[in-house]
């Protein structure tokens, strides 16, 4: 008997997935536990294994296309088996999630949305330019209009193939933006009189980053605390540690360790807003922001307060490589109780970061800068690092955040104390 394979929910924040690659094709034999496809989630590209034995009879989501969780991904059954009934009626558990996303097949019953549009003037060129709708109104299905808005597509330039020229989901899916003809490098866009742009589809990762950070910024009342750290002793300590064979310690490793030990002394900072209650975590899991092409991933160093500099450094380097290769697993990016974002290596002196839910705080770490400082009444050269703590005021008060930063400052300015 044929079995439906649904788009899986591969992370706690995943609402839809993109098929990055089909490992099997229609007609191939499939065994339980065999990789069926590679699915791009909001955070990584993961291998998806089949739960069934049989033949791949149907692919429901083509390579490069997105589908909501619980949408039909594939059908596996016996060779030659009739699956028409499965394709025409969705099981109950899939209907609820699919109904909001799928455009009805019977287009005559689809409501028509009309809206006024502005006349759009486009530069003329010998190249083929899609004609804009300048008739005064456009007709499009609600789903087509919604998809066009999400993808940044001007609906005026989409050619409708439905009844009476109505724009459908299919038209939006197949829309290709006009590309201006190539110009010589010595001719500026302004001089040629041609406007050009490039539309890039929003990745699953970028969608979730936008949603989660917007929710954090506009729902959590942020306040910020900035402090200067004297890094002279940290520089000397790091140089001494790295002089040992096989040892490689970065300033970021020292920051992670100092934060972790400080959280032990200030559990309020290691807490989370849960709506009806505040969760105070006894464990210390540090999320470390890692930049990738499509945004940020935050792998987690677990029980960081119990680990040494070299162990922390090795984990962070491994996570960074996995993040760039899109190989991070859910267990490696979930469960953070505090987050660190370090832009010091890019020459950034200071910045503020948005709290990473469900954490109540995130620390933004700037670069080390040589500046004049006062020591023993004398102005001398010194190395200073600026850090800014962003706090969710629903959980953390100013005095609590300041006390935490003073403890952190003590560890960074006297690194030996972290080894005791």
> Active-site residue numbers?
393, 397
Q: Is 17 exposed, middle or buried (0-12, 13-18, 19+ CB in 10 A)?
A: buried
How distant is the alpha carbon of residue 351 from its chain centre? 20
135 CB burial (10 A radius; 0-12, 13-18, 19+): exposed
Distance CA 5, CA 58 (A): 10
Query: Is the Cβ–Cβ distance between 378 and 401 less than 8 Å?
Result: no
Structure tokens at 245: 């064979």
- Residue 389 to residue 401: CA distance in whole angstroms: 8
Q: How far apart are CA 345 and CA 252, in angstroms?
A: 10
How many other C-beta atoms can be found within 10 angstroms of the C-beta atom of residue 47?
Answer: 14
Q: With b meaning 16 or more CB within 10 Å and e meaning fewer, what string describes 69-87?
A: bbbbbbbbbeeeeeeeebe
CB 189 within 8 A of CB 196: yes
Closest among 343, 379, 374, 337 to 356, alpha carbons compared: 337
Rg (CA), the chain: 27
In this structure, are residues 140 and 167 in contact, taking their beta carbons and an 8 Å threshold? yes
Contact 310, 268 (CB under 8 A): no
């Amino acid at each position: 008997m044929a079995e439906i394979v649904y788009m899986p929910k591969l992370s706690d924040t995943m609402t839809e997935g993109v098929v990055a690659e089909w490992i099997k094709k229609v007609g191939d034999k499939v065994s339980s536990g065999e990789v069926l496809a590679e699915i791009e989630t909001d955070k990584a590209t993961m291998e998806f294994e089949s739960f069934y034995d049989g033949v791949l009879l149907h692919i429901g989501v083509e390579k490069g296309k997105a589908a909501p969780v619980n949408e039909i991904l594939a059908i596996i059954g016996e060779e030659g088996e009739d699956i028409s009934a499965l394709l025409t009626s969705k099981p109950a558990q899939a209907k609820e999630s699919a109904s909001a996303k799928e455009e009805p097949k019977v287009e005559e019953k689809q409501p028509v949305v009309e809206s006024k549009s502005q006349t759009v003037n486009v530069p003329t060129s010998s190249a083929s330019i899609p004609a804009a709708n300048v008739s005064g109104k456009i007709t499009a299905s609600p789903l087509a209009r919604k998809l066009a808005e999400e993808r940044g597509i001007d609906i005026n330039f989409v050619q409708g193939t439905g009844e009476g020229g109505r724009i459908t989901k299919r038209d939006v899916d197949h829309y290709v933006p006009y590309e201006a003809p190539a110009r010589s490098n010595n001719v500026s866009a302004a001089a040629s009189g041609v406007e050009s742009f490039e539309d890039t589809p929003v990745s699953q990762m970028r969608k979730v980053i936008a949603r989660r950070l917007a929710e954090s910024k506009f729902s959590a009342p942020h306040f910020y605390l900035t402090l200067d750290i004297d890094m002279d002793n940290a520089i000397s300590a790091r140089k001494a540690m790295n002089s040992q064979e096989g040892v490689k310690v970065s300033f970021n490793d020292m920051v992670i360790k100092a934060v972790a030990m400080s959280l032990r002394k200030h559990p309020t900072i290691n807490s989370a807003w849960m709506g009806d209650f505040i969760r105070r975590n006894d464990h210390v899991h540090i999320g470390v922001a890692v930049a990738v092409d499509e945004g940020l991933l935050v792998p987690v160093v677990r029980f960081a307060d119990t680990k040494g500099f070299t162990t922390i450094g090795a984990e962070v380097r491994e996570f960074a490589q996995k993040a760039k290769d899109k190989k991070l697993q859910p267990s490696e990016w979930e469960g953070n109780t505090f987050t660190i974002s370090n832009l010091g290596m890019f020459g950034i002196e200071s910045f503020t970061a948005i709290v990473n839910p469900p954490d109540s705080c995130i620390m933004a770490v700037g670069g080390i800068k040589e500046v004049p400082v006062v020591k023993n009444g004398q102005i001398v050269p010194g190395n200073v690092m600026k850090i800014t703590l962003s706090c969710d005021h629903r959980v953390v008060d100013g005095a609590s955040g300041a006390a935490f930063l003073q403890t952190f400052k003590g560890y960074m300015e006297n690194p030996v104390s972290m080894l005791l």
